[in-house]
Structure 1
Amino acid sequence: MIKCFFITILAAIGISVAVFAQSIDSLEYQLGAGDQIRVTVYGEEDLSGEFEIDGSGKISLPLIGNVIVGGKNVTNAEAMIADLLSPEYLINPRVNLEVLNYRPFYILGEVDKPGSYPYVNDMTVLNAVALASGFTYRANKKKIEITRKVDGSEQKITVDITAKVLPGDIIRVDERFF
C-alpha cells in the first residue's frame, strides 16, 4: 500500500519509478565484499567461525570449501550453506549467519572530509554528511545521489537527506551553481 503510494507520487513528478521501486524492494541487506561474518553450525564447533567476504563474494568454509555469499541476504546464505552441508556431511544442519562488521560506505563531492566511513545501523544521508564534517558552502543539499549495487548492477538514485544509507553505498553531494 505505502509502496504503491510512493510509486504514484514519483510517477506524477517524473522520477524513474523502476529504479526507485527496485531500490525499495532491495532494502534487505545483501552481503558483499569486505563484510565480516560469523557462521555458526550448531553442535559443530569445527565448522563454525568468523570469515571476511573476499572481493569475489566468497568465503572458505571447512569441508565444503569456497562458497559465494556475496549478493545474497543473510537468510538465503544460511539456507545455501545448510544445503551444501546436507546430507553429505551432516543430517539436518542448523546454520546461523550474522554480520559482525559491515563494509564501509563512501561519501564524496561537496562535504568537508570526503572518504570512506564505517557503516552504522539505520544511517541516513544526514548522518553520513555529519561523519564527513558537514556540507561545504557550495553543496547542493537538494541534489544528493546514492550509487547502490542492487542484484549485481549499480543503480543511481537521487535522494534527500532523510534517505537510508546501506553498507557499500557511494554518496555524492553535487555542487550548487548559485
Structure 2
Amino acid sequence: MSQPLRTLDHTLTQRSYRTRNTLRADHSSHGQNRICRGVGNRQVVCGAQRAAPAHNACAAEPPALRLCPDRTSRWRHPIVPKSRPSVLLAVLLPTSILCGCSTTTYNPDLPTGAAAYDTIPAIVPAPTTYAIRAKDVLTLRVFGEPEVSQDELRVDDAGLIQVPLIGTVKAAGRDAQEIGSEITGKLAQSYLRNPQVAVSVKQATPSFVSVEGEVEKPGVYEIDGRSTLLSAIARAESPTASAKLTEVVVFRTIDQKSMVARFDLKRIRTGIDPDPMILDGDVVMVGYSTTRGFWQDLLKTAPLLNAFSLAATR
C-alpha cells in the first residue's frame, strides 16, 4: 500500500473511533448530566448544564434555545410560567360580591306611597305656641318675690321643673302660659296673695335627626323646626353611589308610639311626591342597592386586577 493510502486509512480509523466514544458517552449518561451529540462545534446539555470548557459555544447560548432530544422523551423546552388573570378574577369577584352584602332587610309590610304620607305627613301645621321640651331652660318671675323668682329653671328628662315653695311642676308638652297659670294657682292657695307670675323660655334645646345607612356621612344632625327629608339627607352629604333611593325609611316616635314609613327619594327629587316633614327625634335610614353596590365594588377592584395581571406577566 502506498503512503497516501495508508495515511487516509489511518485518518478514517481515528474518526470512527472518536464517533464510537461519543455514542457510548451519550448512551451511558443519565439524568441531568446527559450530553446530546454535538452539532458541528456546538455542544448542548439536556436538563441542567454541566460545567463546559471556556471554548464551548453552548455556555453562551440562551436557555430558551437549549433544545435537544434524548431516547426517553420528546423535545424538551424550558417551562415558562403563564399569567392567570382568570384565576385572579375568579377569586376577587366573589370577594367583592360578599363585601357588597346589604346591611338592611327589606320589609314589605312598611307603608309606601299614599299610606306612607298618612303615617309621616308631608305637611305638619306650624304650632301657634311653643311646646316646652325636656332640657329647655325657663325663666320664672314672681313680682315682688325675688326668693321665688328663678333666672334659670332647667326642664329635666322627665319633663319636670322644681319651683320654690311649690315643688315639682310638669313642663314638657305645655306652653309657658299654661305653666305660669299653674304656678300662680298653687302660690295663691298657700303662700302669696294675688301673685303675679310670668314664665318664659330662655333657651330652647335644639332639634336633632339621625341619618343612617347609605349616606356619605351618617350621624346625628341639628335641624330647625321646619326641616324636610331632603334637607336632612343633604346634611349627611347626600346618598352614596350604592344607595337604594326607592327605599328611604323614616322612623318617628310620638307619645311613645312608633311609626315607620318608606319613601321613594327619586319621586321626591323630581317633584312627583311631596317632601315629608322631619321632626325632632326622627331617624332616617337610606337603603342599600345590591346591584349598584356590586358594580361599585367591581370598579374599585379593577385597578387591583390590572396590577396582578401585570405582575403575573413579568
TM-score with structure 2 setting the length: 0.42
> Does 2:137 correspond to 1:37?
yes
Q: Does 1:136 align with 2:240?
A: yes
Count of residue pairs brought into register by the alignment: 162
Q: CA, structure 1 residues 128+14, in 2 after alignment: closer, same or farther (shift >3 Å)?
A: closer
Q: How much has 1:63 moved relative to structure 2?
A: 3.4
Is residue 306 of structure 2 the alignment partner of residue 174 of structure 1? no
Q: Does the C-alpha gap of structure 1 residues 52 and 83 become closer, same or farther in structure 2, counting only changes over 3 Å?
A: closer
2:157 aligns with: 55
Q: Is structure 2 residue 179 aligned with structure 1 residue 84?
A: no
Correspondence for 1:101 among 202, 205, 213:
205
Q: Look up the SS of the partner of 1:113 in the other structure.
A: coil
Structure with a larger share of its residues in helix: 2
**Corresponding residue SS for 1:118:** strand
Residue 142 of structure 2 contacts residue 195 of structure 2 at CA under 8 Å; is this kept in 1?
Answer: no
Return the alpha-carbon distance in structure 1 between the equivalents of residues 180 and 261 of structure 2.
33
Partner-residue secondary structure (3-state), 1:136: coil
Relative contact order, CA 8 A, sep 6+: which one is greater? Answer: 1
Larger gyration radius, structure 1 or structure 2: 2
- Conserved? CA contact 1:64–1:85, under 8 Å: no
Shift, 1:50, TM fit: 3.4
Name the CA shift for 1:152/1:68 in 2 (closer, same or farther; >3 Å): farther
| Structure with greater strand percent | 1
Superposed displacement of residue 164, structure 1: 1.6
Q: Closer, same or farther in 2 for the Cα pair 1:150/1:24, shift >3 Å?
A: farther
CA deviations over 1:36-79 (Å, ceiling 9, x no partner): 23334464665343344333222333333333333x1x43x531
**Structure 1 runs of 4+ off > 4 angstroms?**
23-31
Greater shift, 162-171 or 58-67, is seen at 58-67
Taking a change above 3 Å as real, the CA distance of residues 94 and 112 of structure 1, as seen in their structure-2 partners, is same
Q: Residue 124 of structure 1 aligns with which residue?
A: 228
Query: Partner letter of residue 36 of structure 1?
Result: D
Amino acid of the structure 2 residue aligned with 1:60: Q
1:156 aligns with 2:256: no
Using a 3 Å threshold, how does the CA distance of structure 1 residues 16 and 172 change in structure 2: closer, same or farther? closer
SS in structure 1 opposite 2:239? coil
Cα RMSD for the two superposed structures: 3.4
Tell me the amino acid that sits aligned with residue 148 of structure 1: R
Which residue of structure 2 lines up, in the alignment, with residue 8 of structure 1? none
